[in-house]
Amino acid sequence: MSAFYPASEVMLRHTDEFTERRVLFAGDLQDDLPCQFEAKEVRVHCSQYHHWRQLARTLGEKARFSLLPPPELVDGCDTLVFYWPKSKQEAQFQLNALLSQLPVGTDLFIVGENRSGVRSAETLLADFGPIAKIDSARRCSLYHFRSERQAQFDVSQWWDEYQVDDVIVKTLPGVFSRDGFDVGSQLLLSALENVKGKVLDVGCGAGVLSAILAHENPDLTLTLSDVNAAALESSKATISANGLQGKVIASDVFSDIEGRFDFIISNPPFHDGLQTNLTAAESLIRGATKHLQLGGRLCIVANAFLPYPDLLDATFGSHEVLAQTGRFKVYQSIMGRPSAAPKDKKTANKR
């Protein structure tokens, strides 16, 4: 995090407003503005582990990573700066959690790119106090809101679930494929064969891939990881709901992963918020060789247009296309396999 994103550049137009305030940053913050922000005090609540790791280097205990902001982080703050996420439900979830802890009279500054749907703040907050747009620049909007009543928040009311055959999937707002089993992950699952031993599910989301695999093969040893706090809680709930065992940990790709695995599976993200970002997927491919047993497999699904084959070949020496549709491809590379020309194993019906 070094260059400021457009939303933070809009915030910088109003720095004089904050010099005597105790400010809590929250939401989809993606740069290090809080580290350089001039205020009486700055604290940050992060729901994304990789963002927290960057900010904590400078802010220490004043930056926290969790699903819900801890009371001691919120206590004493008189101003909230909230970065609007791309999911309206996620914004509503996070704002309700924050407004249930912040005292009446707290000033909120809500900022986001217009394409994120930040205009929804006007209707979402209308019942809690007056809200007005105070700036518009860089295709972003900045709103000021002052709370006149406290929100009621019960996290149990925000859980959803769906089923894939006999597997129950539990989800929270902001989790990938919250409403159903996505087509890409379905293709990946259909292409996996002879899955056994230790399995690492990177970017686990709600834990649906791991839960289905373990339901079919209870002898698997599962490790699930993600950067999204809501995804981690969802995966824990999914594993528990199906009577399965698995370790669920926060990790920025391999940052907190120890040991080697027989399988690494992933439907890696290629967005960070609204921005296209291949860093996580590239780190996954490059780092997999340090976390696979000899003969272990990396199996990923990706949009067909993404440039992963060359990176797989450069890292592993070769790759296979296990399945593909018009939109997605499932790639496999094997640890220790001699270099060979890439080949297609099978082609799925186009969806």
Q: Tell me, yes or no, whether 167 and 303 share the same domain.
A: yes
| Whether pLDDT at 347 is above 50 | no
User: 89 and 147: one domain?
Assistant: yes
pLDDT in tens, 27-68: 999 999 999 999 999 999 999 999 999 999 999 999 999 999
Is the pLDDT confidence value at 339 over 70? no
Q: DSSP characters for 246-261? A: -EEEE-STTTT--S-E
Say what the pTM is: 0.92
Same domain for 164 and 124, yes or no, is: no
Residue 118 buriedness (CB in 10 A; 0-12 / 13-18 / 19+): buried
Whether the CA torsion 332, 335, 338, 339 is positive or negative: it is positive
Confidence band, pLDDT 50/70/90 cuts, at residue 307 = confident
> For residue 184, is it within any domain?
yes
Say if 349 falls within a structural domain: no
Q: Please check whether residue 93 lies inside any domain of the structure.
A: yes
- Asked whether residue 98 falls in the same domain as residue 149, the answer is yes
Are 145 and 167 contained in the same domain? Answer: no
Report the range of poorest mean pLDDT among 170-179, 190-199, 202-211, 212-221: 170-179
Of the three residues 104, 120, 155, the one that is the final residue of a domain is 155
Name the pLDDT band for 243 (thresholds 50, 70, 90): very high
Structure-token pair, residue 103: 């005292």
Residue 34: give its domain's CATH number.
Answer: 3.40.50.150
Does residue 55 sit in the same domain as residue 149? yes
Same domain, 14 and 138: yes
- Is 256 in the same domain as 108? no
Residues 100 and 121 in one domain: yes
Q: What percent of the chain has pLDDT over 90?
A: 89
Higher pLDDT residue, 351 or 44? 44
Please give the pLDDT value at position 226.
98
Q: How far apart are CA 216 and CA 220, in angstroms?
A: 9
Count the domains in the chain: 2
Residue 85 within any structural domain of the chain: yes
- pLDDT cut 70: percent of the chain above it: 93
* Domain presence at residue 1: no
Give a yes or no: residue 138 inside a domain: yes
Cα maximum dimension of the chain: 66
Picking from 113, 132, 155, the residue at the C-terminal end of a domain is: 155
Would you say the C-alpha torsion 108, 111, 116, 117 has a positive or negative sign? positive
- In this predicted structure, what is the pLDDT of residue 81? 99
Q: Is residue 37 domain-resident?
A: yes
Domain extent at residue 198: 160-344
Is it the case that residue 271 has pLDDT exceeding 80? no
Find the mean pLDDT for residues 316-340.
89
Q: Quick check: is 285 in a domain?
A: yes
Element (H, E) at 119: none
pLDDT (average), residues 307-331: 96
| 248 and 122 in a common domain | no
pLDDT at 327 over 80: yes
Burial of 342 (0-12, 13-18, 19+ CB in 10 A): middle
Same domain (yes/no): 168, 292: yes
Q: What is the rounded average pLDDT for all residues in the chain?
A: 93
183 lies in the same domain as 141:
no
